[in-house]
Amino acid sequence: MSLLVVGTVAFDEIETPLGKTGRILGGAATYVALAASHLIKDIRISAVVGGDFPQQYMDIFSARNLNTSGIQVVPGEKSFYWSGRYHSNMNQRDTLATELNVLADFNPVLPAAYRDSKYLMLGNLTPSIQKKVIEQMDHRPKLICMDTMNFWMDTAWDDLLSVVSMVDVLAVNEEEARQLSGEYSLVRAAKKIQTMGPEYIIVKRGEYGALLFYGDRKFYAPAMPLEEVIDPTGAGDSFAGGFMGYLTKTDDISYESMKNGLIYGAALASFSVEKFGTKRLMEISAQDIQDRLVEFVKLVSFSV
């Protein structure tokens, strides 16, 4: 089965209490696609970068067999740039800079070979661009999952609501769920967001795991307790990559399958935070993932 991933491909600069990176490979689509590439083979990326985007980063995508024919390169322009600083608890961060650069004028044109993708992950990106991608598909994908962030709620509210109304799953963090719904209780927030369109709501809660809401049903996936978190950047996107990778692999979008998807998401996210940037996602093996899934089973198994 095929997965189309749309989102930013970026330069990130990250500061945590444990250190600073220079400009490194980042972006929502980057993390989603790298995480999903451990589960499925047919992944297509739609994104835009500037002429400053190094070939060496494109080679990283190729090495993981990602289809990059839909990454548009704009010569003479700069790639999207984001920098952030984490507080000592690593759960909170300040955005220091968001420079849209090429993203400001991005008009995605999906290659013909992308338009039949069965699964679609709308990674964090300008809402109007997310919408243009949905509109270019030959058929509506079997499942559309969307991520977004407060930045777009502050700058593109109407466009955002319009895309939210078109998707099946909305995956946001708890502050975003609260801002979008105007409700503090996550249960109420999920109920309210369900009335905006998506049947499934995933609320990501960093080191406190993730919740899935569907109708009146709820499921909780913990985050793996780790001795040391080096860099939480991209955890939410790696989570989405694991989740969508699992659904695409099994081609099963039932609630039961989504519950497993949440655990796969949590597993991929737990690796992502173990090193700066995308480093850890590039080195893990199928066996590492299998072992971590077993750890998850042990973490939550009990009898009553």
Question: Residue 175 Cβ, how far from ligand AMP at the closest point, in Å?
Answer: 11
Per-position b or e across 126-163, b if 16+ CB within 10 A of its CB: bbbbbbbbbeebeeebebbbbbbbeebbeebeebbeeb
Q: Which is nearer to ligand AMP, 82 or 106 (CB)?
A: 82
Q: Residue 108 phi/psi, 5° resolution?
A: -65, 135
Closer CB to ligand AMP, 26 or 261, in the complex: 26
At its nearest, how many Å lie between ligand AMP and the CB of residue 237?
Answer: 4
Minimum gap (Å) between residue 304 Cβ and ligand AMP: 35
Residue closer to ligand AMP (CB basis): 1 or 58:
58
HSE of 159 in the Cβ direction (CA atoms, 13 Å)? 15
Closest approach, Cβ 57 to ligand AMP, in A, equals 12
Footprint of ligand AMP on this chain (CB under 6 A)? Answer: 8, 10, 12, 26-28, 82, 98, 124-125, 149, 151, 233-237
Pairing of strands 19-20, 10-16: antiparallel
CB atoms within 10 A of CB 285: 9
Please, what is the minimum distance in Å from the beta carbon of residue 272 to ligand AMP?
Answer: 9
- Termini Cα distance of the chain: 38
Smallest separation (angstroms) from ligand AMP to the CB of 20: 15
Q: Which of 247, 251, 275 is nearest to 260 (CA)?
A: 247
91 or 136: CB nearest ligand AMP: 91
> Minimal distance in Å, beta carbon 23 to ligand AMP?
11
User: By the 8 A CB rule, do 40 and 3 touch?
Assistant: yes
What is the C-alpha to C-alpha distance for residues 54 and 112, in angstroms, rounded to an integer?
26
Residue (10 or 90) nearer to ligand AMP, CB:
10
Q: Spell out the alpha helix ranges (H) of the chain.
A: 28-36, 55-63, 127-136, 150-155, 157-164, 174-181, 186-195, 235-250, 255-272, 279-283, 286-300
Q: Would you state the structure tokens that stand for residue 205, as one six-digit string?
A: 């809660």
Q: How many CA atoms lie within 13 A of 47 on its CB side?
A: 35
Q: Quick one: 117 or 126, whose CB is closer to ligand AMP? A: 126
236/245 with CB nearer ligand AMP:
236
CB of 7 or CB of 115, closer to ligand AMP: 7
Classified as helix, coil or strand, 113 is helix
